[in-house]
Amino acid sequence: MTVLIAPDKFKGSLTAAEVAAAVAAGISGVCPEIPVRSLPVADGGEGTVDAVVSAGFRRVRTVVTGPAGQPVRASLALRDDTAVVELAEASGLHRLPGGPIPLSATSAGTGELIAAALRAGRRRVVLGVGGSACTDGGAGLLSALGARLLDAQGRELPPGGAALLDLDRLDLSGVDPRLSEVEFELAGDVDNPLLGPRGAAAVYGPQKGATPEQVELLERALSRWASFVGAEYVDAPGAGAAGGVGFAALSLLGARMRPGIEVVLDLLGFADAVCGARLVITGEGSLDEQTLHGKAPSGVARAAGDVPVLAVAGRCLLSPAQLADAGFRAAYALTDLEPNPDRSMSNAAELLRRQAARLARDHLQG
């Protein structure tokens, strides 16, 4: 009976694959006779394409428009009739060459990745919507797919959410007709609406560098955008995802939204992988309150069914009761070995191997 290792990334220190490799090394050093299987996971944000590629999808690299308008080399993943597009690959915060640009950052590159999936003949697109740098309501994404956003003089609007204040006409006549034949699925853990105190600008704008005045401007701009695109979708759960990309996908692409970790686990074939496992090990950089609300480790724990689940983490801020309620038998944090956060992150792989060895002695020996 195998041990299934299914962690998310430790942000800032290790990718999900590196986490899995360190855990596997720690276990094998103590219990070399026990087979282990690594299945890195993600929740729709950064690392989603990497996760599905590790499970057999084919990586396709292409050059697209970054959030600041610069060319970036980004990947999508293909298998059978499905394409996996990770918004963070093209339009993520880490793609900004300088500081935040909350008013002008664009989602155009994500639309270009979708266009690449269409050219490849795929009829199902899974769009992971975490880690966005933009608050443009998905306007850039739609422009990349053939939509024209025009001001009162008939000029194309510049990129970014702020420009939507000048929107006078939305021309969809040039949108790629193949989009109507594609099934779109949004993979994310955000249920925010587009507008209001829980909306894309109010909640996530400050995380992307927006001042209070810029948040108010973006709110007005998104409200105007919604009046052209489909006001009935403003309050839909997930419309506020990725700076409003969720809104554009739900309203104009006919997408449906599911928790990101559920979508990714389906793509990875987790249900088959967990069959016959004696133990599942998952984790992420920080086990905290957010973990309990749709993040990857809690999704793995739910999907594991009756198989015991242990967690590894850079740090653990959850009480034993919270861990138990979330389905974890125990958690092993790197800060238990190295309390200094900087040293813990810089030496994460070795600390993780040591904690995995301790985990194996606690739960697998004998």
Kindly report, residue by residue over 185-199, the tens digit of the pLDDT.
Answer: 999 988 999 999 999
pLDDT confidence band for 294 (50 / 70 / 90): confident
Q: Is the dihedral of CA 327, 303, 259, 208 positive or negative?
A: positive
The reply to whether 248 and 151 lie within a common domain is: yes
The reply to whether 80 and 8 lie within a common domain is: no
Total tally of structural domains belonging to the chain? 2
Q: Is the pLDDT of residue 338 over 80?
A: yes
CA–CA–CA angle 291, 297, 301 (5° rounding):
115
Buried b / exposed e along 265-303 (16+ C-beta atoms within 10 A): bebbebeebbeebebbbbbbbbbbeebeebbbbbbbbeb
The reply to whether 285 and 169 lie within a common domain is: no
Domain's final residue, options 243, 261, 279: 261
**Any domain includes 18:** yes
SS3 at position 111 = helix
**Any domain includes 48:** no
Q: Which residues contact 253 (CB under 8 A, 6 or more apart)?
A: 179, 182, 184
**Any domain includes 195:** yes
Q: What is the pLDDT of residue 1?
A: 83
Q: Is the pLDDT of residue 277 over 80?
A: yes
pLDDT in tens, 217-238: 999 999 999 999 999 999 999 9
Containing domain of residue 251, as a range? 56-261
Contact 282, 8 (CB under 8 A): yes
**Any domain includes 46:** no
What's the whole-number mean pLDDT along residues 274-281? Answer: 96
Q: What is the pLDDT of residue 130?
A: 87
The CATH number assigned to the domain holding 73 equals 3.90.1510.10
Q: What is the pLDDT of residue 209?
A: 96
* Look-up of token digits 């990857």: 296
What's the whole-number mean pLDDT along residues 197-215? Answer: 97
**Any domain includes 30:** yes
What's the whole-number mean pLDDT along residues 55-79? Answer: 97
Domain's final residue, options 261, 278, 306: 261
Count of residues in the chain: 366
pLDDT confidence band for 2 (50 / 70 / 90): very high
pLDDT in tens, 152-171: 999 999 999 999 999 999 99
**Any domain includes 313:** yes
> What's the Cα-to-Cα distance from 76 to each of 85, 88, 258, 274, 307, rounded to whole Å?
5, 11, 19, 26, 32
**Any domain includes 190:** yes
The reply to whether 247 and 358 lie within a common domain is: no
The CATH number assigned to the domain holding 292 equals 3.40.50.10350
The reply to whether 28 and 68 lie within a common domain is: no
The reply to whether 102 and 64 lie within a common domain is: yes
Q: Which of 313, 312, 318, 310 is closest to 341 using CA atoms?
A: 313
The reply to whether 195 and 119 lie within a common domain is: yes
The reply to whether 286 and 255 lie within a common domain is: no
pLDDT confidence band for 148 (50 / 70 / 90): very high
The reply to whether 168 and 294 lie within a common domain is: no
The reply to whether 255 and 274 lie within a common domain is: no
The reply to whether 89 and 199 lie within a common domain is: yes
Q: What is the pLDDT of residue 21?
A: 97
Domain's final residue, options 244, 261, 278: 261
Q: Across the chain, what does the average pLDDT equal?
A: 96
Q: Which of 281, 361, 284, 365 is closest to 327 using CA atoms?
A: 281
What's the whole-number mean pLDDT along residues 339-363? Answer: 96
Q: Is the pLDDT of residue 366 over 80?
A: no
What's the rounded Cα separation, in Å, for the pair 170 and 196?
Answer: 23
Q: Is the pLDDT of residue 143 over 80?
A: yes
Q: Which of these ranges, 147-156, 161-170, 291-300, has the smallest mean pLDDT?
A: 291-300
**Any domain includes 47:** no
pLDDT in tens, 95-136: 999 999 999 999 999 999 999 999 999 999 999 998 999 999
The reply to whether 177 and 273 lie within a common domain is: no
Q: What is the pLDDT of residue 208?
A: 96
